[in-house]
Amino acid sequence: MNDVPTASPLTSGVHVHPTPEAAGADAARTAAAAILDALRARGRARVIFASAPSQEQMLAALAADARIDWSLVTSFHMDEYLGLAPDRPQAFGRWLQDRLPAAAQAGFVRIDTTADPTAEAARYAGLLSEAPIDLTCLGLGINGHVAFNEPDVARFDDPEQLRVIELDARSRDQQVAEGLFDTLDDVPTRALTLTVPALTSAAVVVATVLGAHKARAVADALVGPVSPSCPGSVLREHPRASMHLDAAAASLLPEPAGVPEPAGVPEPAGVPVRTGAGASGHVTAS
């Protein structure tokens, strides 16, 4: 796919904040608005969540939003390790279950990795297809992956909703670097993941990306080619996607974004950045 130079890398904006807490709170406000819109329109909301440290602040703020009736929300998670017991703290379903509010537990649908993976992929895909998805809340891997759709393996036109995949080496390294596993040997090598089309089928996509270790992936996703070489770049094709960054994650974006360019790092080309509070598609700093 060709490079897409544009002044609006994401339709609903790229929002840069000084701290992870501020970025997470802003992402939670955007996510809450999508959930509340769905509840007003249909009386139910259906949400896909990522399970990752970058989502901690966003989930905490979202769970605390008293306007949301979580008993009316059906929640899905976007990936799960194969070969890892479901009660292990590193299991993505367990991680998310521990962070969703009590009222959301009855509506949380976990991927069952004790079942045959092919059969489970079909079961979970059927549940996802029962009604429209209102919101996907995701992060971005250090290699640009979304869920476990890995670079150059991800398909933007994937006909399936879930796939069994082999984990990229950098994805496994990231799990150790973030303190989720003690050693690389402890990290599973296979997972079941929602595909790119399943994630982006949501009416609204809210990405929360934090930390300097994600800065290159952020720049690649927002100003590089729209290509499976950086699966996160697909967000630039979504009609209602936003990205919420702390200063460290935004540090390789073109200025002015409220974040100084690190010395000796070339500025990515292709996206003239403008500032302006609330301007759709702009990179804004706060």
For the annotated catalytic residues, the residue numbers are 79, 143, 145, 150
By CB atoms closer than 10 A (0-12, 13-18, 19+), residue 76 is buried
How many helices, marked H, and strands, marked E, lie in the chain?
Answer: 7, 11
Buried b (16+ CB within 10 A) or exposed e, 78-95: bbbbbebebeeebbbbbb
Distance, in Å, from the CA atom of 10 to the CA atom of 201, rounded to the nearest integer, reads 16
- Residue 141 near residue 174 (C-beta atoms within 8 A): yes
- Residue 137 near residue 31 (C-beta atoms within 8 A): yes
Q: Cα–Cα distances in Å, from 138 out to 47, 79, 164, 268?
A: 11, 11, 19, 24
Q: Which two tokens stand for residue 150?
A: 């890995």
User: Which is it for the CA torsion 195, 196, 199, 201, positive or negative?
Assistant: negative
The residues pairing with 204 across neighbouring beta strands, listed in sequence order, are: 135
Distance, in Å, from the CA atom of 82 to the CA atom of 98, rounded to the nearest integer, reads 20
Which DSSP state fits 146?
B
Q: Which residues contact 40 (CB under 8 A, 6 or more apart)?
A: none
